[in-house]
Amino acid sequence: MAHTGTDTATRHLARRVKEVRMRRGFTAQQLAEALQAQGIAWQRTTVVKLENGTRENVTLNEVLALAYVLGVAPVHLMVDPDTASPYPVTAQVSAPAAAVRSWVRGFKPLDDIDPRTFYTEVPAVEFGKREDHPDRYEWVSDMARYLSRSMGRMYRRDDGSAVLEVELPGRGNRGESGEATER
């Protein structure tokens, strides 16, 4: 979905920082001091500038420190958990907030992202249980069925891990392309 507004991810973060800071009973000064204790050189004015929209950029180190100091997961600062509004992913792209939260967590790619690319970067240990990530498992199961029908065979080892043997075109050999353990 095209993003046409002036709303930015930083402005969303700023709103969430202010909401969570106030809910925790921190003043802007106390938040700045807590960040300083974590090695982030923020002053009270830095907090105020972020919250009032005059500070447009926040580093990843700052986002992680803000989340740590406020006691929340970074995703809960980045994307409001209580909104269905579109979220500005880039200056040109926005997506529903729930979809962005799922993407940031590594559960599911945004609509314009190729799932084959997205899921190749998810470590096997993070795939978790089927019931934890039904969308991911549905896609992985579909892809495994497709690959096993078209390129190789899938089987389970005695230890319960799943193995997909794939024949690589032009190589005439077979080899394991990857493993996933289902518990």
User: How confident is residue 116, by pLDDT bands cut at 50, 70 and 90?
Assistant: confident
**Which residues touch 121 (CB under 8 Å, ≥6 apart)?**
none
**According to the model, what pLDDT value does residue 169 have?**
55
pLDDT in tens, 117-140: 888 887 777 766 556 666 666 666
Please report the domains of the chain, with CATH numbers, ordered by start residue.
9-103 (1.10.260.40), 114-181 (no CATH)
pLDDT in tens, 4-48: 456 899 999 999 999 999 999 999 999 999 999 999 999 999 999
pLDDT over 70 percentage in the chain: 67
HEC string for the chain: CECCCCCCHHHHHHHHHHHHHHHHCCCHHHHHHHHHHCCCCCCHHHHHHHHHCCCCCCCHHHHHHHHHHHCCCHHHHHCCCCCCCEEECCCCEEEEHHHHHHHHCCCCCCCCCCHHHHHHCCCHHHCCCHHHCHHHHHHHHHHHHHHHHHCEEEEECCCCEEEEEEECCCCCCEEEEEEEECC
Give yes or no for a contact between 151 and 175, defined as CB atoms under 8 angstroms apart.
no
Q: What is the mean pLDDT of residues 66-95?
A: 92
Which residues on neighbouring strands pair with residue 91, listed in sequence order?
Answer: none
Higher-confidence position of 112 and 135: 112
**According to the model, what pLDDT value does residue 181 have?**
41
**Which residues touch 101 (CB under 8 Å, ≥6 apart)?**
75, 79, 81
User: How confident is residue 67, by pLDDT bands cut at 50, 70 and 90?
Assistant: very high
Q: What is the mean pLDDT of residues 89-102?
A: 92
pLDDT in tens, 131-183: 666 666 666 666 665 655 555 565 667 776 766 666 555 544 444 444 444 43
**According to the model, what pLDDT value does residue 170 have?**
54
